Each structure stands twice: as C-alpha cells, then as structure tokens.
Structure 1
Amino acid sequence: MATEIRFGLIGLGLMGREFASAAARWGHLTNVDARPVLTAACDTDERAFGWFKKNVPTLEFTTTDYHALLQREEVEAVYCAVPHHLHAQFYTDIIRAGKHLLGEKPFGIDLAANRAILDEIEKNPRAFVRCSSEFPFLPGAVAIIRALWEKDFGKLVEVESGLLHSSDLNSKKPINWKRMVEYNGEYGCMGDLGIHAVHIPLRFGWFPARVNAQLSKIVRERPDGKGGFVPCKTWDNATIYGEVSQKDHRFPLTIHTKRVAPGETNTWFIRVIGTKRSMAYSTKYPKTLQVMEYEEGGPQAWQHIDLGHESAYPTITGSIFEFGFTDSILQMWAAFCDELANGRKKMKQPFYCATPEETHQSHLIFTQALESYGNRA
C-alpha cells in the first residue's frame, strides 16, 4: 500500500488546482509507492474554496488564515503558491512549523529573501523542501537528461535554454501582481520564469562565473481594470549571457525568459551542443527530439525523433500517445513524493525536483543580471 502524505495547500489559484488535479490522477502512475492526500486548503478569497470542496473529496478543512492550516497536526507537507513578496514569510513559517514544503518559484522576491528561507531550512534539517519546476519532466527533457548522464557529448560548445510567453504582447491585458514590482520583484520575468530555464543547467553544474544581460521593458503601462492605466515597471524580457568553466574548457550559457515573445504561447526549450553529440527539444514541437551524433570526418546530420509518452515515472498511458503539461505536473509531484518518502538514493528514478540550493544559484544569476544591465556602458 502506498504511503499517504497528507498535504495542506496555501494559495488556491491556477497551480493549486493543478496540484489537486494531479493528486486525483495518481492512479496513472504505476510504480510510485507514496501518494499525496489533500486535506486542508487556505486562501484569502473564500470564493476559491468552492472548486476544491466540489472536486476534492479528501478535503477536511478550509481557512483564510494560513497559520490555522499550519497548526493542523495531520498536515505533514504544504504546497505553497503565493505571490513572490510573501515567499520569505510564508515559507519560513511553514518550515518552522515542522512541515515539508514544495514552494513555487522563485523562492523569495529577491536574494535577501531567498537567503532567509535557506537559513530557516538550515535551522530545521528535518524539513524536506523543494521548488516547483515541471518542465524537466517532459519527455524531450527526460531524454536529454538521460543522455547527459549516459552519453559522451564531447566538449560542450554551448548551452541555451529558455521559457517564452506571448500574452503580454497584448497591451490591453489588465495588470496583475506579476507585472508589479512590489509583488513580483525587481527580477520581473526572470523571477517568474527563470527557474524553469536554469533547472537543468544548474543540475549539471553549469553555473556561470560571469553574467551579462539584456533586459527590456516593452509595455510601459497597462489597464488597471477600473477604467484607467497604471505603470508596468517589471522587466518583460531578459536574455542572460553567461560563461561556464569546466576543467580546462569554457562555454557560453544563454538563458531566455520572455513575456513578450510573439507567437510563443508557452514555449520551453533547451539546446545542448557538443563536439560529439548535440540535442535539442522545444515544446513548440512537443513530439520532436533533435539529436546529432558526430564522428570526425563523418556527416553532420540532425535526426528528428518522434516522442511518445516516455516519462520519468511509468504510467498507464500507452507509449504512442502524446504527453502534455498536466502530465509534467504529475511527474514533478511523483518526484517530490518519491524523494520525501524514500530518500534520494532510493528514488524510483534519479531526477529530483529543484533544490533550495539551486534556487539560491538562480537568485545569484538573476541578481548579477540586474547589476550587469544597470552597470552597462
């Protein structure tokens, strides 16, 4: 029988509903011996409770005060999905209360907030804490990760990764907290999208020693929803240029986080280019994995390989069928519960969720990007 992990949920928006849906689909997974059970939910807006009461039969408790949720002894772990300016206070309170945590990115509105969260984790070593990042669980990403473990890429020539949105191209789109510096933070698009782009590079030790960035504010004001306009001060687009050192070799790492990328609904991609093997994957073409294997003097030809439902954790879904966003959420949650229940060494597969240390590295990169752009000639 699977080990049940009783969860509380703080923040009942889009990602909170995705978590509840993933828990309801747990039967799709065939080899995970731990499962989440959502028993308590918190949001400041009581209207959010309706969907959860209707669709989550295990839900026993709702509240508008997250402290009341943290006092529930049966709650072992918490998924927290709240605006960035609340991360430091909420996450440290959750950890201090003795709960395990999967928190949304960026794990603090800025570097100081991130350090405060990591300091609290250090004081509470029994707390299991990870950051939400689902894109590395897509089949194309899984294939590239496995190849990086098992295959010889030769010398790395360059690595490029990114997450691109396009909805902010519509200047009539009303402002929300993600476009407001006081709630989203100075990072702008980097804070909200960045961990998705750097998760795999950081996992393989590709931390850039030097960073330069090009940042853009494209839409300067947005409707306030009340008939007027308000300033939109967050960075819309960011391209970060880094240099990674490996032994006696250096290569460029380029990270893209963009909210104004025309035609890109929600495009995550990664390209790893080496002298012996290169691989690329983009959700723009979600069934296609690109691979080039090269021997000196041989042809330089990209293969385009059709992907099916090839996931980190096996499921009941036939291998010929397509994989989607909700499947990546399910896989991420499987990794969280697997590592929490069994420890990293006994996980059913080896790729684990983004760690607090990796979020700290991401903050160092984004902070350097701000400083670099602010100090440009």
Structure 2
Amino acid sequence: MRTKTAFIDYVRRKRLELVRADAPAAAAGEALALLGLDDAALDRWAASESVLVSLPHASPNVFDPRTRVCWYAGSVQRRDADPAHHVRVVLTHINFSDLGWRPYAWWYLGGDGKVRCHRQFSRNKKRKHVIVAGRPPMDVVPEEATTTDLDASRAARWGADLAVSYMLLGAVVERAAGMVSGRTVTYLPLSLLVSFVREQAAGPASAAGEPLPAWCRLLTDQAQGRRAGPDGVLVECPAGQATVFDNYSNLAMLALLGDCHVLGGAKMAGYWPHVEHRLGALRQAAAEDMRDPRIAVVPETDLLRFAGPSPAVAAQLERHGVPYSQGLAVAEHGDFARRIDPFERATLVAG
C-alpha cells in the first residue's frame, strides 16, 4: 500500500496542473470530480484492495469494438459489493495520425439527427504527427450539440490541453452510457506516471536504499525516452527528461497503481510476455507491497448487436467512412451499458 499511497499523494499535488489556470474554483472542482481526481475518489482508490486498469487513447471518440473495455470494467464492478477501483490510464502522447481513435475530429449526433464532425485539428501531412497533449484545449461548443454532448463539450473547456479536454469529454459520455458511476473510476494521464517515476529516480542520495526510488531508477536506466520537440512531434531523449517511455516500460509502471488487472485484447495479450520480461528485470528492486500487473483479456462483444445505429445514422456513418462510437450510442440509446450486460457470465481471468 505504501507504493500506491506515494503515487496517489503525488497525484494530489499535481492534479490542478490538468485544469486550465484561469478556471474558476467551482469549474476546477467539477472537472477534477469528473476525472475522479477529487479527494473522495482518490481516497477510494487508496483504500481499494485491487485495481482495474484500462488504457484508452486521448480522443473524443471510442469506436466499436474498443467500447467493450470500459463497458466490461463497469460490468465487473457492478457484480461486487466493494468493487475494485477502475483507473483509465489515458495515453495523452498519441498523435493525429491515429486512425484507430481519430483524435483530430469528433463525430457526434446533432439535435437535427445528422451525424456531425467537429474537426479539432488538421491531419495534413506535415502536422499529423503532432501529439494531442501539445494542442490547446477545446473551447467551442459544436454546432447542434445536445444533452450529453453539450455537457461534454462544456466540461472539455476546462482541460489544460486538448488531451485533458478529451479526458473530460470521455468522462461525461461514459457516465451517461452507464459504464462508470460515482467515485469508482479515475482518469489519469500516463504522463503523470512518467513524471512520478522521474521524480523518484532523481531523488536525494539519502533515499538510495529505499525500494521505490531504486525501482524507479532501474526502470529509467532500462527505458527509452521520448518527449515533444519544438514542432509538437515526439523525439527521442534521455529517460530522465522524457514524458513517455517505450511501450513495455509504460506498462511496467502500472505496478505503481496497486494490485491491478490490466484490461486488454488479443493484441495486448500477444506482447504481454515482453512486459513480464521487463517486470522480471525490475523485481530485484521492488518494494514488498509491489505486485506485477496481470493482463485480463476482455471478452469479445459487438456494440452493434446490443445498441447499434439506426438505419439513418448507419447510412451517414458509411458516407463519413467512420465506425459507430460509444458517444453516438449514448445519443441514440441513452445509458445502454447500465441496462445491457453482454458480460454477465464472463469472469475476470488474469493471464
């Protein structure tokens, strides 16, 4: 528990950096509560015996079939009287060339019944590798946005950058979908894990024999580092200056979150042995309370089967060339994940 508590205390110190500096106190408090970074949610995480971890990209869209991950986490939580805390570790370093999540634009259903596209950033050849966290926050209410999307766009204005805006937007939509509830979820940028590891690794010499700083130093010794250059594109750098590490080191850092199951699909399961190899190299320095994260493969399911698009929306999506998303499903079906549970017979199995 000491390791997890140390990290959560660090999050408490840094959380206001995720909110715009000019945000009124009430707006800042509401934004942190939406992200599960208020004291009540962080206290619950600190007391939780185990943690569910998911790894969404910073985007206004979660397209089918990725919708199933947060849906599954909510299903697992509802079965338990004292559910594990869900930490959505958001990959804020992704760039605008990401066609799996398409963070350069937001597809939503307008009040006029039209699927609309709010384009946030150009994907022209010279700029598509700029990272999402390097752009200013959303500051526009999209045309014809209604109900949940209207609330989401208003909340998104208080993010310190575009990645946090997208985290806030996702938090509103996933609550409306019934995937998350109350204080059982926290949205956490991966960059906070990296900065915590760097701070611990660079700590005073008096901490040299302490397990946590030693573990963090060993991780940074092995990690490959990257950070945004002047043009907003990631470039290689020493790990001690990085805002993101290589993929295996990023996943190894999840050990700091507590005793956790990492929710993923077949792709993650395929490279998880490499993560375990990295964790094995770190075990010699691990504190007694640190446990290696375990992967839990999320069962396959099809959003379209349970809460799919109406014919009119399906036809528009075909013209746009984009899949159905959880945001569009909320606009058409409301809290579908609270009412429909395709995972009710599935069990959480760690690899």
Q: TM-score, normalised by structure 1?
A: 0.28
The structure that has the greater radius of gyration is: 1
Q: Which has the higher strand share?
A: 1
